[in-house]
Amino acid sequence: MKIPFKYIFRSLFTRRLTTAITIVGVALVVFVFVAVLMMANGITQTLVATGSDDNVLIARKAANGEISSIITNDTYGVIAALPQVARDADGKSLITGDLVVIINLEKIGTEGGMSNVTVRGVSTPVFQLRPQTKIVEGRMFSEGAREVIVGSSIARRFEGAQVGNTIRFGGDNWLIVGMFDTGGNGFNSEMWGDVRQLQSAFSREGAYSTVTFHLGSPDQLDAVKAEFERDNRLQEFEVKTEQQFFADLSEFMSIFLSALGIFITSFFSVGAMIGAMITMYAAVANRTVEIGTLRALGFRRRSVLAAFLIESLIISLTGAAIGLFLASFLGFLQVSTLNFGSFSELEFSFALSAEIISAAVVFSLFMGFVGGFLPSIRAARLNIVNALRSA
């Protein structure tokens, strides 16, 4: 394509207003597209970061999330006896049986309203199993006391959920003695307490929701899975890495948001494409004499086609760059929503990824191509004599 880039670039500036309007249209589409994908990705990232791949988490097979899973003491005993359960330097098994329930708390702020918060009863090895969890204010709860610690997200977002406050649930008052932070994973949106205390408060003695233990090394996972298949006391239960389990909890939300977002965006992206098409048709109409001159000088039809197509692609790529740039600021936002998978509140950040950026670029190239195609064909098909005569 021998037509100089200078010509293509500078021609874009001759109709500044309509070019700008078209670029803004593309930018809006890309912004929404990227924002929705960033939201879905943010939820996934937060949940993927929630577990490690050298911990395994056991839940009941049929369970939809932790709150509907039940593991009795007997089963806990069988699991705790497995040889793959790692031990710490003092010989203590690195295993925790968690009881997961949901309580309602009032949100802080103008929107207010209630939302669901996960309360997790844990055993003391929990900090060794989940080392990203660090107490940043106050102290750990004492075994045997009606005390809890809150994730930093809960302290931030809910009324009365700060260190020193008391929350009433399970027929008793619970003192918040500390706040923990996990560097931004799902546990940040939870409250933790002593599992025995919570079991008794909720009349769930002898039952856990899930059991998590640390593997000596990640390649022992298969051995554990095999054991679960072999032992018929463990038939109804499912083994996953802790990371996999929590990642799966994000699946529904993630797919729901992505699918809906992409479906709707594809629709109104047609609007932006039409805008580009109208702009390009106008560009061709206004430059008919130029096109005739270029053809007379000896430039080929396909060069003319390419030149206009490139012009359209520049418009859409510029729009994409602006949309991406603006969307990237969303990454500074920390937002919170009910996660359908766990039925409770989850704080997350919009997260950009290389895949999302590539998807946006490809999408914008597609828009530019579709919008520019027919007008470029028209430009290429102009008859030289007629084009020159139209002056």
Q: Which stretch binds other proteins (CB under 8 A): 63-71, 83-91, 188-196, 223-231?
A: 63-71
Cβ at position 25, least distance to other proteins in Å: 5
DSSP label of 83: T
Q: Which stretch binds other proteins (CB under 8 A): 81-89, 225-233, 291-299, 314-322?
A: 291-299
305 in Cβ contact with 380 (< 8 Å)? yes
Nearer residue to other proteins within complex by CB, 4 or 331: 4
Cβ at position 6, least distance to other proteins in Å: 6
Which of 80, 145, 274, 362 touches other proteins by CB under 8 A? 274
Which of 45, 55, 115, 188 touches other proteins by CB under 8 A? 115
Lookup: tokens for 179: 């706040």
Q: Which of residues 220-259 bind other proteins (CB under 8 A)?
A: 236, 257
First to last CA, the chain: 26
CB-CB neighbours of 61 under 10 Å:
11
Cβ at position 191, least distance to other proteins in Å: 12
Question: If DSSP codes are grouped into helix, strand and coil, which group holds residue 340?
Answer: coil
Which of 93, 116, 132, 244 touches other proteins by CB under 8 A? 116
By the rule CB under 8 A, 325 interacts with other proteins: no
Number of residues that bind other proteins (CB under 8 A): 87
176 in Cβ contact with 166 (< 8 Å)? yes
Residues 6+ apart with CB under 8 A from 178: 135, 137, 138, 139, 140, 141, 149, 150, 163
CB-count burial class (<10 Å; 0-12, 13-18, 19+) for 32: middle
Which of 136, 145, 223, 260 touches other proteins by CB under 8 A? 260
By the rule CB under 8 A, 329 interacts with other proteins: no
Which of 281, 366, 369, 373 touches other proteins by CB under 8 A? 281
By the rule CB under 8 A, 83 interacts with other proteins: no
Residue matched to tokens 């996972």: 221
Nearer residue to other proteins within complex by CB, 84 or 337: 337
Residues 6+ apart with CB under 8 A from 282: 15, 18
Q: Which of residues 119-178 bind other proteins (CB under 8 A)?
A: 169-171
Which of 208, 313, 345, 376 touches other proteins by CB under 8 A? 345
Q: Which stretch binds other proteins (CB under 8 A): 82-90, 114-122, 124-132, 145-153?
A: 114-122
By the rule CB under 8 A, 273 interacts with other proteins: yes
DSSP character string of 115-174: EEEEEEEE-TTHHHHSTT-EEEEE-PPPTTSSEEEEEHHHHHHBTT-STT-EEEETTEEE
Nearer residue to other proteins within complex by CB, 43 or 149: 43
3-state secondary structure 126-142: HHHHCCCCEEEEECCCC
d(CA 26, CA 246): 36
By the rule CB under 8 A, 5 interacts with other proteins: no
Cβ at position 207, least distance to other proteins in Å: 9
Cβ at position 274, least distance to other proteins in Å: 3
Cβ at position 118, least distance to other proteins in Å: 10
